[in-house]
Amino acid sequence: MRRRIAVASVVAVTTGIMVAPAAHAEGRGDIRVTKTVVNGGGSVIVGVKNIKRFPITMTIKDNSGVQKVTDVSAYNASNGYGPVSYLGTTCRKVSKTTSVCTATMEFDPSWIDSYGSGNEGWDANAVAGNWQVNATARANDRDYWISDRIALFKVKRAATLTTDATPEPVRKGGTLTVTGKLSRANWTDLKYHAFTKQVVKLQYKKPGGSYSTVKTATTDGKGHLRATVKAAATGSWRWAFLGTTTTMKVVSTGDAVTVK
């Protein structure tokens, strides 16, 4: 399938990387995009294998009615990187003057690194961060509207987190050691690598209860976590990472430990 790359309204610099200009809007008549929601309001999470498709839903108004959306693009608002494909838009008329149009965008992890290959200093992982959406809409009376920033959203690297509590079972009052590992997607080699120097919460819950934070730990140079606690009662332990602007929030599966 031919890729239509969502980097409209960008200019090339000498390195060949695409860089976004300042936000602006222009057009003719009264047509406007009045509301835009990206991925249902959530961040777009991209791993190392599965293709990620996500919607951009736009509410568009014009006194003559909306004809169509001719283009939608998206890219990192800081550096202009935009290795995402625009697959097209469908529109649903909700009144004589208003339509809701949904664009489908696609991230293919296997293609992210090649987007900027050959450019000095290129880092595929710099694609993650704050993104913006552009769109061009046209009305039945030939009004049109081009906007460079109808919405902002986040693209984040997928992450994994494990938990292992030992010994199992443990005697009451004994020392329980809880370990784990935090990793995140690397779009250069399409593997998960250790996420170092990150603060992660150690959480505990009794059977039938809810998790609460007991203490925190920081990942070491290999992404490993380790904490010791006194075993007071049977329950489950897990690690919880709150995420960053470029990496998703992730919570491990709980590890149930019986206290005897």
The C-alpha atoms of residue 47 and residue 25 are separated, in whole angstroms, by: 33
Q: Which residues are CB-contacts of 134 (< 8 A; sequence separation ≥ 6)? A: 8, 9, 71, 72, 73, 74, 146, 147, 148, 149, 150
State phi, psi for 192 to the nearest 5 degrees: -95, 130
Beta-carbon contacts of residue 93 (< 8 Å; ≥ 6 apart): 65, 66, 99
**What is the token pair recorded at 45?**
């999470």
What pLDDT was estimated at residue 80? 93
Q: What is the pLDDT of residues 201-221, one digit of tens each?
A: 999 999 999 999 999 999 999
Residues 150 and 182 in one domain: no
Cβ–Cβ under 8 Å, residues 109 and 158: no
- Do 105 and 179 belong to one domain? no
169: preceding bond cis by omega (within 30 degrees):
yes
**For residue 82, what pLDDT is reported?**
95
Return the structure tokens found at 131. 């993104």
Closest CA to 147 of 93, 71, 209, 213: 71
Per-10-residue mean pLDDT of the chain, 260 residues long, equals 38 32 71 97 98 98 98 96 97 98 98 90 96 97 94 98 97 97 98 98 97 98 98 98 98 98
27-67 pLDDT, tens digit each: 899 999 999 999 999 999 999 999 999 999 999 999 999 99
Residue 106 belongs to domain spanning: 11-155
Q: Are residues 211 and 140 in the same domain?
A: no
DSSP 77-111: TTT-----EEEEEEEEE-SSSEEEEEEEEEE-HHH
Q: What is the pLDDT of residue 107?
A: 97
Count of structural domains within the chain? 2
Whether residues 112 and 141 share a domain: the answer is yes
Domain CATH code at residue 39: 2.60.40
Is 1 inside a domain boundary? no
Return the SS3 of 126: helix
Domain-embedded: residue 6: no
Residue at 52 is within a domain: yes
Starting at the edge strand found earlier in the chain, the sheet holding 32-38 runs 32-38, 52-61, 98-107, 85-93
Q: Alpha-carbon distance 95 to 98, whole Å?
A: 5
| Element at 133 (helix H, strand E) | strand 129-139
Q: Domain with 217 in it: what CATH number?
A: 2.60.40.730
